[in-house]
Amino acid sequence: MNASPGASARAARLERLFHLLERRILLLDGAMGTRLQRLALDEQDFRGARFLDSDRPQRGNYDILTLTQPQLVAAVHREYLEAGADVIRTNTFLANAPSQSPFGMAHVVHELNLEAARLARSIADAHEEESGRAVFVAGVVGPTDRAVSLTKGTDTADARGVSFDELVRAHADAVRGLVHGGADLILIETVFDAANARAALEAARKVFIELGYELPLAVSLTPCDDDGRIRSGETPGEVWEAIRDAKPLIVGLNCGSSPRALIACVPELARVAEDAFVCVYPSAGLPDAAGNYPATPHDLAEEMRALAARGVINIAGGCCGTTPGHIRALRAALSGEPGGTAMLSSRGACGIRAARGRRCRRDPASDPGSTAGGI
C-alpha cells in the first residue's frame, strides 16, 4: 500500500500500542453519552449557532455536540485521561447516516467523524506531551437502529430497514472521517447483529484500499441474554467465526445488564478468539427511573480484578453509566495498589503476534540473553 502523510508517526504509534498490549492490561475510557447527559443541555445548547435554523429538534443528538459544543466533549476526554485511560473513544456512537437522518443531519456524518477524531487526537496528543504517557484514539463506529438480519414482520430488505450494501456505504463514510481525523484504530462497538458487523468491517476494508493504508480493527459485541447471545441469535463464539477472516486485532464485549453478567461471557470468547486481543467494558448496570446506575466504581473494579486474575483480557474499561471514578478505580484495582501503574500482566500475546506475521518476542524476565526494549 502507498505511504500516506504521517505514515511513519502512525506506524510508530501503532507498534507502541502492540508493544503495550503484550505487556499489560490497557485501560479504555468510560461512557461519553451519560457524562454529557448529566449536563442537562437544552435544545439551544445542542443546536449551537451553526444549526440554529434546523427544522428538526436536536436535543438528544449528543454526536452533534462535537460541532456545536466541542469544549464539552473535550472536557470528558480530559477527565478520562486524568483518571488513567490509555485509550479514548471518539464521540461518534451514532455518527452514521441511519442514526442521524431523524435529526436531519445525515449530510454532516463525514464531518462529525472527522472532527470527533481530530478533537480526540488533539486532546490525546496534548496529554501525552504533558504526561509522557502513550495515549491512543479509538474511532468509534456505533450501531444503527436498523439490522440486516432482523426482520420486522416480513422477509424483505425494506422491512429490515437497510440492505448490506447500504450499511457498507453508510459506515464507509464514517470510517473515512475517523481515519482522516487521526484515529489509531477503528472500534466497531455495541454489535447486536452479526451481519451488521460484517458490513462495518467491509466498509473499513474498502476505505483502507481507497486510502492506501489500514488501521487495526476492533469489534465489540453486546450480549442480550445470559448465554451471551446477541440480538440476532449468535453466541460470541459464532460471531467470531463469522468475522475472523477480517482479522480484527481486538475482539470484545461491552454494555450488558450488569458488570457481572457481561464478564461471565468473556472467558468463552477469549477461548475461541485465540488470534485476537480481548477487550471488555461493561455498563454500570441498568439505570433507574431517575437515570442513576447501580454499579459503583468499587463494584466494577472488584469484578474486573477477578476477571483479570484469570488472564483472559488485554483491555478493560467502562460503558453506559461509567464515570472517570470507575476508570480510576479500575486503574487502582488492576495495578495492585492505589495509584499504581504496574498493571497486571495481560493474557499471553505470543500466538497473536505469530498469527499476524510478527516476530514472537521472548520474555526478558525469563531469558537472560534477551534485551528489553525495542520491537
pLDDT score at 49:
97
Residue 197 in any domain: the answer is yes
* Residues ≥6 apart with Cβ < 8 Å to 338: 332
Residue 369 in any domain: the answer is no
pLDDT score at 161:
66
Q: What is the rounded CA–CA span in Å between residue 339 and residue 263?
A: 24
Residue 346 in any domain: the answer is yes
Domain count, the chain: 1
Q: What is the pTM of this model?
A: 0.90
Q: Over its length of 375 residues, how does the chain's per-residue pLDDT go in tens digits?
A: 554 546 777 888 899 999 999 899 999 999 999 999 999 999 999 999 999 999 999 999 999 999 999 999 999 999 999 999 999 999 999 999 999 999 999 999 999 999 999 999 999 999 999 999 999 999 999 999 888 875 444 454 455 568 999 999 999 999 999 999 999 999 999 999 899 999 999 999 999 999 999 999 999 999 877 778 888 788 888 999 999 999 999 999 999 999 999 999 999 999 999 999 999 999 999 999 999 999 999 999 999 999 999 999 999 999 999 999 999 999 999 986 444 445 665 565 555 654 555 544 433 333 333 222 222
Cell (9 digits) for 293:
446506575
* CATH number (domain holding residue 78): 3.20.20.330
Query: What angle is formed at CA 191 by the lines to CA 237 and CA 155, rounded to 5 degrees?
Result: 95
Q: What is the DSSP string of 212-226?
A: T----EEEEE---ST
Cα torsion 35, 302, 281, 126: sign: positive
Residue 363 in any domain: the answer is no
Please name the helix (run of DSSP H) or strand (run of DSSP E) that holds residue 191, with its range, or none: strand 185-191
pLDDT score at 230:
84
Residue 368 in any domain: the answer is no
pLDDT score at 151:
47
Q: Which structural domain range is residue 238 located in?
A: 7-32+62-355
Residue 309 in any domain: the answer is yes
pLDDT score at 231:
81
Residue 69 in any domain: the answer is yes
pLDDT score at 6:
66
Residue 338 in any domain: the answer is yes
